[in-house]
Structure 1
Amino acid sequence: MDPSKPVYSDALGRPSASQSVVYALPADAKAENYRLNVQHDMLKVLVGGLYIVPDLVKKALDPAQRGKRCGVLDVGTGSGIWSVKAEPSLLRLASYASLWARAVEMAKEFPDADVVGMDLVNPVNLTEIPPNCRFEIGDAGLDWSRYAGAFDVVHMRSVSTGIKDFKAVLHNVAQTLRSQGVILLVSPTAWVYSETKESLHDRDQDKPGWSAMAALNEAIRHATLKRGGASATVTDHWAGWLAETPFYTNVGEREFWIPIGPWKEGLDESERAAAELLRQSAIEVLSYFKPKLLAGGFDEDLVDRWSLAAKKELQTMEPRLYMLWKFTWATRTPEP
């Protein structure tokens, strides 16, 4: 890669179009970009930066230890809210716009590393791209051979529903990482949770504790599966899959229970900010649900009622709801 020229290209190096054929809406939708920026800010507040294990990341990207220029791959394949094949659930609030933003931020933080952002669509509304950052159109579920041994950090956020065989992708990432390189996986789990941290996905509407937010999330999950998307529950298996393969070591995982809105007492300043940002992002995503659910066969009147009820829940923070985000990581085993 020539870091002196940030480029937009597909996996074969061809100039990319302004709109991917697999996305239903234009890539410069202002409302969507705003929502994704809010979600990106929420995660940064949550962990205090762009990644959760700074010691491992900084060690992997230390050119003095590597003896060469380092590389970072930021993957967002299939997570876009406008993806035809895999619409996100309420919990999957990241897509290409935030990917491009975080790739740029990573390039600025590590000017001695070459950063590649990969997704199904072009970057949008970027006016200032560091010289060590470039973007590619690509699908994480396909061939990774061109990236063999090319990177020291691979970051994947909210990509679960766009990848059919995530276990195979973890194997591909291992072939991409250099010895002692780091894989970073970030995603919410599949459900909306109650104040007591009970999953609400199977709660009947006439039962106490029912939530319109949880019902919409479950409906979107079913619509995603119906349209060919992958299961949203793979996050539960990440740590186990990494631990059972000989390619990885130092496997770790951390969970964050984030209130949807700052309803919980005793939150510190950063926790309160993350909760409010999550609530804003959830409100924004509601408008995208209706066409996806109608395409999935849901009744329009039912969708309208649930959407209005969910908006009221978010505005009043009643019932009190949680989302659970998982951060999982591992390092590449040393080469023989």
Structure 2
Amino acid sequence: MDANSRNLHSTPRVDQSAYNYTESQAATTYAGSMAETSNNDQTNVSTYSYRSNIDAARFLRQAYGRTINAVSDSYFLPSDDDEWNRLDKQHTAIVLGLGGLYPEAANVPAILKSQGGETKRILDLGCGTGVWAVGMAREFPHAQVVGVDLAPVPEVDDLPPNVRFEVDDLNLGLDHHEGQFDLVHIRLVGSGLKNIRQVMADAEKCLKPGGLVLWLDIDYDLYSQTNFVYKPVASELNPSGVWLQRPIYEMRRSAVLGGSDVHEMEKALDEGLWDSPLLDPATCKTASLYLLIGPWATGGNPSLDQYMNYVGSLMRQDIMSGHRAIHPLLIRTGWSKETVNEWSDKADKEMEDCNDKMSLRIRIAWGRRRAAEDQPAPSLPAQTEDTEAQPRHIYPYMFVYNTKEEAYAQILHRTRDKPTVAPVHPADARERSKA
């Protein structure tokens, strides 16, 4: 676990002064938002004030033996100690794969470079434990960082003075953040969004001209590590398939049954942001980050193998905890506790044996806001030779696609063996019994 992760305790206790929340002195509520704003807050960002862990508890509830957020039914995942620890391991694996907190290693520092006394501002939508926001606040101490999530973040030691956190639901709009940020980061929130195209447009509107939006989200399919093609999901009709694939597959299906727009999220990010009217298509790219599941790398380079196996070990720990974290979601949509426990037991054995070399893909898309309608993004400040960003990572399974055509070709490659018939769901069986 990296230094930032160690500074994030897993106690979901929230205190106003400790978190540097903006005090809410006016009773103004933004349309479509649960947040309040202060008349004397010049940044005009949304906040919801907490003054005790009792007050924070209003955003949480108990379900199926786990603590779940109480703000949105579409994101029915835990918000407790085990989940915080899992998310921090996941964060570390992603950072190791990217070689840093973000892709676009040259452009992000240029966008956030302090110029003429202007305050640079970063918005982290779906901030989870707050670890990414805290890391960015430390890397760019001259910038102001705002983290937003459905539930209070866990207690943070040594919180940098330039970061604060807010509770809000992205599905309710982001008008109160419009035009204020140089960088907007959205990571792994797709299963909780009800209208991805609207949230994408809202996030882009939060950018200043020239600002950068970064989207990262999970691919709910698993891939072979040899040629990065779809691994078949196990079912009663296909017991030779991958059992780890089954709870992940059912998570996506259960999210859709709960109102999530996750299928459109997958399509939108894989196709990229080139057609967004607010973004400069010349600055848009997509990428695939394939994270190993398990320490099975044996490429012949001991240093690289050690690096990759650390990523694989973190991802195995993350997923072993993660596929059990989704049990409440699967049970809610009709699966029995015994069935999901059986899937998880088989999935754990697969990952422990490491016989089936698999990877989890992180889909990534980004682009910069135009200077004005139909105009390109503003030029970035020139970087001197000693400050110019150098390649930051040695992880070999990060692939960047520079055009729509490249992105589309990779979609066809990844899904060429993917079946179109879904495993039977309990709801299907109930419908058949009625017929």
TM-score > 0.5 by shorter chain: yes
SS at match of 2:267: helix
User: 1:104 deviation in Å?
Assistant: 1.1
- Confirm or deny: 8 A CA contact 2:48 2:166 kept in the other structure: no
- Matched with 2:371 is 334
| Aligned: 1:275 with 2:312 | yes
What does residue 82 of structure 1 align with? none
Matched, 1:18 2:42: no
List alignment gaps of at least 5 residues for structure 2.
1-17, 24-33, 37-46, 70-78, 374-435
**Correspondent of 2:223 among 193, 199, 203:** 193
Shift of 1:179: 1.1
1:205-252, CA deviations, whole angstroms, 9 ceiling, x for partnerless residues?
454741111111112222222222222552332264521122112101
Residue type of the alignment partner of 1:285: G
Contact 1:71-1:150 at 8 Å conserved across structures: yes
Alpha carbons 1:239, 1:328 under 8 Å: kept: yes
Partner Cα separation in structure 2 for residue 237 and residue 292 of structure 1: 24
Residue 258 in structure 1 maps to residue 291 in structure 2: yes
- C-alpha displacement of 1:58: 0.9
Q: Distance in 1 between matches of 2:97 and 2:225?
A: 19
C-alpha distance in 2, partners of 1:325/1:191? Answer: 10
Q: Structure 2: how far apart are the matches of 1:216 and 1:174?
A: 32
Q: Return the match for 2:108 from 57, 66, 79.
A: 57
Picking from 333, 340, 344, the partner of 1:303 is: 340
Matched ranges for 1:168-187 at <5 A: 168-187=198-217
Residue equivalent to 2:183: 153
* 1:6 partner amino acid: N
Instruction: State how far apart, in whole Å, the 1-side matches of 2:264 and 2:178 are.
Output: 28
Where in structure 1 are there 5+ consecutive unaligned residues? 77-94
Q: Does the 8 Å CA contact 1:239/1:251 hold for their aligned counterparts?
A: no
Question: Structure 1 CA distance, aligned partners of 2:203 and 2:216?
Answer: 15
Whichever residue aligns with residue 353 of structure 2, its letter is: T
Alpha carbons of structure 1 residues 239 and 63: separation in structure 2 relative to 1, 3 Å: farther
- The 8 Å contact of residues 196 and 261 in structure 2, kept in 1 or not, is answered as no
Q: Equivalences for 1:233-244 in 2 at 5 Å? A: 234-238=265-269, 240=271, 242-244=273-275
Deviation of 1:23 (Å): 5.0
After superposition, where does 1:1-336 map in structure 2 within 5 Å?
Answer: 6-7=20-21, 11-12=35-36, 13-16=47-50, 17-21=55-59, 24=62, 25=67, 29-64=80-115, 67-76=117-126, 96-97=128-129, 100-196=130-226, 197-200=228-231, 202=233, 204-207=235-238, 209-232=240-263, 234-238=265-269, 240=271, 242-249=273-280, 250-266=283-299, 268-335=305-372
What SS is found at the alignment partner of 2:148? Answer: strand
Tell me how far 1:134 sits from its aligned partner. 0.8
Q: Cα gap change, 1:198/1:208 in structure 2, threshold over 3 Å: closer, same or farther?
A: farther
The residue identity in structure 1 corresponding to 2:295 is P
1:11 offset after TM fit, Å?
Answer: 2.1
Cα distance in 1, alignment partners of residues 117 and 353 from structure 2: 55
Q: Which whole-Å CA distance do the structure 2 matches of 1:192 and 1:157 have between them?
A: 19
Secondary structure, counterpart of 2:221 in structure 1: coil
Task: Determine the C-alpha separation between the residues in 2 that align with 1:284 and 1:5.
Answer: 28
Letter in 2 for 1:215: R
The Cα of 1:44 is off from its aligned counterpart by 1.0
Match of 1:89 in 2: none
Indicate the structure (1 or 2) with the bigger Cα radius of gyration. Answer: 2
**8 A Cα contact 1:20 1:121, kept in partner:** no
- 2:291–2:359 Cα contact (<8 Å) kept: yes
Query: TM-score with structure 1 length normalisation?
Result: 0.85
User: Does the CA-based 8 Å contact 1:167-1:241 persist in structure 2?
Assistant: no
Further displaced range: 305-314 or 225-234 = 225-234
CA distance in 1, matches of 2:296, 2:272: 35
Whether the 8 Å contact between 2:187 and 2:217 is mirrored in structure 1 is yes
Report if aligned partners of 1:158, 1:188 keep a CA contact under 8 Å in 2: yes
Corresponding letter in the other structure for 2:128: Y
**In structure 2, do the counterparts of structure 1 residues 241 and 310 end up closer, same or farther at CA, with 3 Å as the change threshold?**
closer
Q: CA deviation at 1:21?
A: 3.2
Q: Secondary structure at the match of 1:112?
A: coil
Say whether the 8 Å CA contact 2:145–2:163 is kept in structure 1: yes
Stretch moving more, 190-199 or 209-218: 190-199
Letter matched to residue 361 of structure 2: L
Provide the TM-score with structure 2 as the length reference.
0.66
Contact 1:255 1:327 in 2 (8 A): yes
SS in 1 for 2:229: coil
Matched to 2:90, the amino acid is Q
Structure 1 residues 229 and 201, CA gap change in structure 2 (3 angstroms): farther
* C-alpha distance 330-180 of structure 1, shift in aligned 2 (>3 A): same
Question: Which deviates more from structure 2 when the two are superposed, residues 240-249 or residues 125-134?
Answer: 240-249
Q: How far 1:333 moved relative to its partner?
A: 0.8
Larger relative contact order, structure 1 or 2 (CA cutoff 8 Å, min sep 6): 1
| % identity of equivalent residues | 25
